[in-house]
Amino acid sequence: MSDGSIQPVLTDREFKKISAFVYDVCGIKLPPIKKTMLSARLQKRLRQLRITSFSDYFSYVLSPEGRAHELPLMIDVVSTNKTDFFREAKHFDVLTTRVLPDFVKRFAQGNRKLLRVWSAGCSSGEEPYTLAMVLDDFFSKVAGIDFSILATDICTEVLAKAEKAVYHDAGLEPIPTRFRYKYLMRGKGQQKGYHRVVPELRRKVSFQRLNFMDKCFAIDHKMDIIFCRNVIIYFDKKTQADLFAKFREQFMAYGYLFIGHSESLEGPAGQMERVASAVYKCVK
């Protein structure tokens, strides 16, 4: 047992083992320069479990009990979860001026009335709730079409925060004023200084833990639009190509993929048609 006074040291050999395991489990590439970061983040888990070495910690993670209980927490620690409301705002302009009008035309030619959107790598919920605001505002002017949003992440901690839909006022500045009044509720008493997304919008978003490295996404429905932004930058080229190939299979007969402006398509998904900066159209 550890009294917390001595910090265990992460050796190069232990780092290689743990980083290789992280890559196999969730596709996140941890180069040697990330050793200090990994050590600092895992120190908290070792202290919590009162484990005295990284070697013993890794052995525990590999055990049946560890895989069931500690592995999700380990992935929470390793993954990066930075996000904001209306991040890369030009994407939402493209969504409302080009993508959604295209679906309105397509739906008018058939019997479909529900647009399905996937926020893949949703972090603490700012992206899917931004999407919900934009979609609700757009379809309030279009009769007969509804939408649903699936929001997924590998990190259980941020998913729990996202489901609560409570955000500090300091992070609300990117939200247009009219959206703040329409879609957010001001906190009172102990919740002063916070806002919560209105229940009508929360009901449009469902959350699910999902690992991109799973062979099957286990998602019940095909998607019309997928937002996967600023996620693949943590993957190597092969993992990126494999993931985009899975996304193509998850689309309806046609669909739109939004990625981060600093990201690019690789492999099979490169067959998709570019329609705007970091926005691609898939036609099967």
For this structure, is 153 an active site residue? Answer: yes
Three-state SS string across the chain, please? CCCCCCCCCCCHHHHHHHHHHHHHHHCCCCCHHHHHHHHHHHHHHHHHHCCCCHHHHHHHHHCHHHHHHCHHHHHHHHCCCCCCCCCCCHHHHHHHHHHHHHHHHHHHCCCCCEEEEEEECCCCCHHHHHHHHHHHHHHCCCCCCEEEEEEEECCHHHHHHHHHCEEEHHHCCCCCHHHHHHHEEECCHHHCCEEEECHHHHCCEEEEECCCCCCCCCCCCCEEEEEECCCHHHCCHHHHHHHHHHHHHHEEEEEEEEECCCCCCCHHHHHCEEEECCEEEEEC
What span, in angstroms and rounded, lies between the C-alpha atoms of 31 and 16?
Answer: 9
CA separation for the pair 263, 81 (Å, rounded): 17
Catalytic-labelled residue, pool 41, 98, 112, 180:
41
Cα dihedral 245/251/255/261 (nearest 10): -40
What number of CA atoms fall less than 13 Å from residue 222's CA on the CB side? 13
Catalytic residue among 76, 136, 153, 224: 153
| Phi/psi at 21 (5° precision) | -65, -45
The catalytic residues are 41, 153
